[in-house]
Amino acid sequence: MAARVTVKTCAAFADPALPGLTAALDLPRVESMLRGARNANGQPFAVTGVELVAHKPGQRCVLRYTLKPLDGTLRAQQTLIAKLYNRRRLAARVFDVMLALWRRPFNGRSFRIPEPLGHNAELGILFQEDVRGRDLRELLGTPQADTALRLTAAWLRQLHHAPPSENLRDCIPRHEIEKAHSWSDALIRANAHWRTQIEFLVERLTGQSWIGEPIPRVPIHRDFYYAHVLIAGCQLIVLDFDTLALGDSLFDLGHFWGHLVARASADQSALYTPDAQTFLSAYGVERDSRAFARIASYAALTCLKLAFTLCQRKLPELWTKGELLLKQADRFLQSVTSDQ
């Protein structure tokens, strides 16, 4: 069977910042690398195809390989995922933290992560299981949303109670909040009319009294939102552990909440939506708790980050969606003031 390379953009396959890209497209070489993968079991197979799944130019890309068994002992066709990083050391670090989570507690019947299969430190390539399921955002607004959100909160709570890996770096709340300064500068350059609104927002965000307080550090995802949550039968699977760190558990809650509100339509004024209420309550946070101010502040930061992302990608919806995101960030901070 002839090998195939399916691309969405040819530029993705000529990214000089990804040191492992040439090797990753050399299918015989990939076969050789995969023979040492954790679940290969010595069974012969051929890598018959590769397709581009995602690409962030200059930083990383995701490929999906098709594998064909040569001895008839495996199912007719298998796929697996490779992630390529511009910083080669990330492949080994992410593999190690995923393996620690896979061994305990995320390889069970209910809560899972993709199984890490191997890595090539020299080339900056991570191999992992290709998991499939329904994206959580497909379930939001449906009768299944309540159960899915409760399971999502339970998965996250389990992560926050997991033993920390040796390779996790520190994520200091003050440093996360202070990213608002650089994001705001970029947004103001994109639209000078936002200056007063953004500067006032950032002043309130970075001036929160809790920022300097000592906060327990636990394993946190740092990019936890509905697109990284899959529902596959009775299993809930979470993706993407590139940014896993030790930090404030409430960061993940605020990040998820900010994304829930950001996806809402412009005419929806409520922050504490039924979906948000279900998720936060299932995790164990009540609106009148002291933690609520931190969560809302992180949600405001998330809205600002999403506006910055639109600006960086030069997406046409920057002006309308960006304006809405800034208003949502402002409303999150107003909720902090009203609850204190």
- Say yes or no to pLDDT of 82 above 80: yes
CATH of domain 134-339: 3.90.1200.10
Beta-carbon-side half-sphere exposure of residue 313 (alpha carbons within 13 Å): 14
- Say yes or no to pLDDT of 71 above 50: yes
Q: Are 46 and 68 in contact (CB under 8 A)?
A: yes
pTM: 0.90
For residue 190, what are the contacts with CB-CB under 8 A and spacing of at least 6? Answer: 311, 318, 322
Distance CA 233, CA 144 (A): 12
Topology at the third CATH level for domain 4-129: Phosphorylase Kinase; domain 1 (3.30.200)
Lowest average pLDDT, out of 39-43, 233-237, 247-251, goes to: 39-43
Report the pLDDT averaged over residues 6-15: 56
- Say yes or no to pLDDT of 273 above 90: no
Task: Identify the pLDDT of residue 308.
Answer: 93
- Say yes or no to pLDDT of 12 above 50: no
82 three-class SS: strand
264 three-class SS: coil
- Say yes or no to pLDDT of 85 above 90: yes
Task: Identify the pLDDT of residue 235.
Answer: 93
| Number of helices and strands in the chain (H, E) | 11, 12
Q: Express as a percent the part of the chain with pLDDT over 90.
A: 64
The domain limits of the chain are: 4-129, 134-339
pLDDT tens-digit profile of 274-311? 899 999 999 999 877 788 989 999 999 999 999 999 88
Q: Are 255 and 299 in contact (CB under 8 A)?
A: yes
Task: Identify the pLDDT of residue 300.
Answer: 96
Report the pLDDT averaged over residues 42-53: 83
